[in-house]
Chains A and B, each alone.
Chain A
Amino acid sequence: MAETVSTSSENPSRRDFIYIATGAAGVVGAGLYAWPLIDQMNPAADTKALSTTEVDLSSVEEGQQIIVKWQGKPVFVRHRTQKEIDEARAVDITTLRDPATDEQRLVVNGEGKYEPQYLIMIGICTHLGCVPIGNNAGDYDGWFCPCHGSHYDTAGRIRKGPAPKNLVLPPYQYLNDTLVKIG
């Protein structure tokens, strides 16, 4: 009994060290255990692999929009009319909530040229994820989201309503003049 007391009072720091080291190892262990349990919910390898879609732009008539599915999300492919392009370019971008020129909303083709008639965007409202209605809907002739009333213009830029950002552009590239690979 006396011996125990003297041991602990002589070496308090050694005891504390073991105590803290055990605790720390326990915390690290718990973290290592928890991470797989959490990470399993992230997109699985096969989900991530389903990540490219090809679109033939020649099938989209002027003034028309098609919706293709990419990674489970709708992607708008719009063949814009000259009027829409002019409208998009007439805007003073300093007045925009998420400033971007019309060209920044496009991607150059294989020859380094823009194809301003084709606008390709992820068709998901940047507010809470609904699919906006297209074909010159809303106050700015572009898209209108029915869920909480966001208006996007003919370049898919947010103009009015609760959404904070322009419609997002997916990564894509022109394989030739009319064939596009999304993803």
Chain B
Amino acid sequence: MSGYPGYDPKSGFEKWLDARLPIIRLGYDTFIFPTPRNLNYWWTFGGILAVILMSQIITGIILAMHYVPHVDLAFDSVQHIKRDVNFGWMLQPMHAVGASMMFLAVYIHMFRGIYYGSYKSPREVLWIVGVVIYLLMMATGFMGYVLPWGQMSFWGATVITNLFSAFPLIGESITQWLWGGFAVDDPTLNRFFSLHFVLPFAILGLVILHVWALHVPGNNNPTGVSVKNVDKDTLPFHPYYTVKDGFAIVVFLMVFVAFVFFMPDALNHPDNYIRANPLVTPPHIVPEWYYLPFYAMLRAVPNKLGGVITMFGAIAVLFVLPWLDTSKVRSMRYRPLAKLFFIIFVLACVGLGWAGAKSPTDLVFVTGTDAATGAPTGLSFLWFARILTLYYYAFFVVILPVLGLVEKPKDRPESIEKSVLKSAPKEA
């Protein structure tokens, strides 16, 4: 442990404080933390997420200073922010685009976790806290999107709250309770604003638990091989990974600001610039891009309750993933079959997103024309979504459990150090 001597208060004041509130020690232990020396850029997304969460909280508090949560005023108040408030033209897109960036980063972060087996023992709790954070992010993003009170805001809120009406007997009472009325209306908007304000702070609290649960077992790494010798296999987080993460954060922020400055509305839907109208549903309602795969699953099942269960189940299955995967080998680098199925899984998720954006009756590809009507025939997005939904579930409940038993993994490196220094001197 020679590389990690621990915090040694130098000045009199530091010693005095350390005996009373060891807060500098906490910071020290957090940042001078043994980290595997072979982490690649897929490991930078946690830091990226932390930065965007802070940005969302700061811009959110600012927006809340100018926003008015009332059905008659909300839409105009967002326009007021964008047009009249000083720097509002920048702050509002920072928040709206920031939400998309946060989901982009979280999806990469989660796929990383699956590929490298980061959910496996001893990191199950770390993974589960992550899934809870993801759920809260979904709730926060959904309620935030309702606030500008455009057509998509209103109808998205209507469709999503109606999901709960699928439950037998209690369904109706639940939706009325969520609405505070008999339809989405002013009470709904007000409570969504209140919850949208507070949930990010709950997320922040969970992020602290997430990092705590990370610091007990330490980071996983691309080989999945556990740290055996702290001196040889790890580097202190600071300065090595503060610099690597910092570089990745700067690159990510460049993408972020490119959207904010040059295409602030690219990720929004034009219908959300139409004031909410409870009497007219837009012809084609779609959720935000980051919910599209789940929306496709909802529509893939012809039964209302069945669709809702399929959709929520897709997230619920993530909670038990650590116990579904039977393989002892963490990293899919050494699992040729798992790697193949993983790639198909990522494509299936993207495909589901595509299906969610399309009308179920549209065709993915055309194979011919209907003899009677002359209409083109082929694979509809409905069936496309059904096949992919099946694969999504099969990946977790069939493929991962079975593969662990039948697959023969490749040889793994003896240690993290050996994997980095391939031509390493024997023992220097």
List the interface of chain A (C-beta within 8 A of B).
38, 41-44, 47, 67, 69, 71-74, 123-124, 127-132, 145-149, 162-164
Q: Are B181 and A43 in contact (CB-based, < 8 A)?
A: yes
Please, which residues of chain B bring their CB within 8 A of the CB of A147? 155, 159, 281, 285
List the interface of chain B (C-beta within 8 A of A).
155, 158-159, 161-163, 165, 176-185, 187, 191, 278-285, 299, 302-304, 307, 359-361
9 contacts between A and B (CB under 8 A): A47-B187, A72-B181, A73-B278, A128-B165, A129-B158, A129-B161, A146-B282, A149-B359, A164-B303
CB contact between B162 and one of A43, A67, A128 (< 8 Å): that residue: A128
Q: Are A146 and B283 in contact (CB-based, < 8 A)?
A: yes
Complex Cα distance A146/B191, Å? 28
Please provide the 10 A-B residue pairs with the shortest distance between their CB atoms, ordered closest to farther: A72-B183, A129-B162, A71-B182, A130-B281, A128-B162, A128-B159, A129-B158, A131-B281, A72-B185, A74-B279
Please, which residues of chain A bring their CB within 8 A of the CB of B159? 128-130, 147
Please, which residues of chain B bring their CB within 8 A of the CB of A164? 303-304
Query: Binding site of A, secondary structure by majority: helix, strand, loop or mixed?
Result: loop
Please, which residues of chain B bring their CB within 8 A of the CB of A130? 155, 158-159, 281, 285
Given known A-B contacts A131-B280, A146-B281, A162 and B303 have beta carbons under 8 A apart: yes
Q: From residue A51, how far is it (CB to closest CB) to chain B in Å?
A: 8
A-B contact sample (9 more), CB < 8 A, given A38-B177, A124-B183, A148-B299:
A47-B181, A128-B162, A128-B165, A129-B159, A145-B281, A146-B282, A162-B303, A163-B304, A164-B304
Q: Are B285 and A149 in contact (CB-based, < 8 A)?
A: no
Q: From residue A49, how far is it (CB to closest CB) to chain B in Å?
A: 12
Query: Binding site of B, secondary structure by majority: helix, strand, loop or mixed?
Result: loop
Q: Are B158 and A72 in contact (CB-based, < 8 A)?
A: no
Chain A, residue nearest B155 (CB): A130
Complex Cα distance A42/B176, Å? 6
Complex Cα distance A162/B179, Å? 23
Q: From residue B424, how far is it (CB to closest CB) to chain A in Å?
A: 59
Please, which residues of chain A bring their CB within 8 A of the CB of B360? 148-149
Q: Are A71 and B183 in contact (CB-based, < 8 A)?
A: yes
Q: Are A69 and B278 in contact (CB-based, < 8 A)?
A: yes
Complex Cα distance A147/B295, Å? 11
Complex Cα distance A47/B182, Å? 8
Complex Cα distance A74/B163, Å? 19
Chain B, residue nearest A123 (CB): B279
Please, which residues of chain B bring their CB within 8 A of the CB of A162? 299, 302-304, 307
Complex Cα distance A132/B191, Å? 27
Q: Are A149 and B182 in contact (CB-based, < 8 A)?
A: no
- Of A38, A72, A73, A163, most buried by chain B (CB within 10 Å of CB) is A72
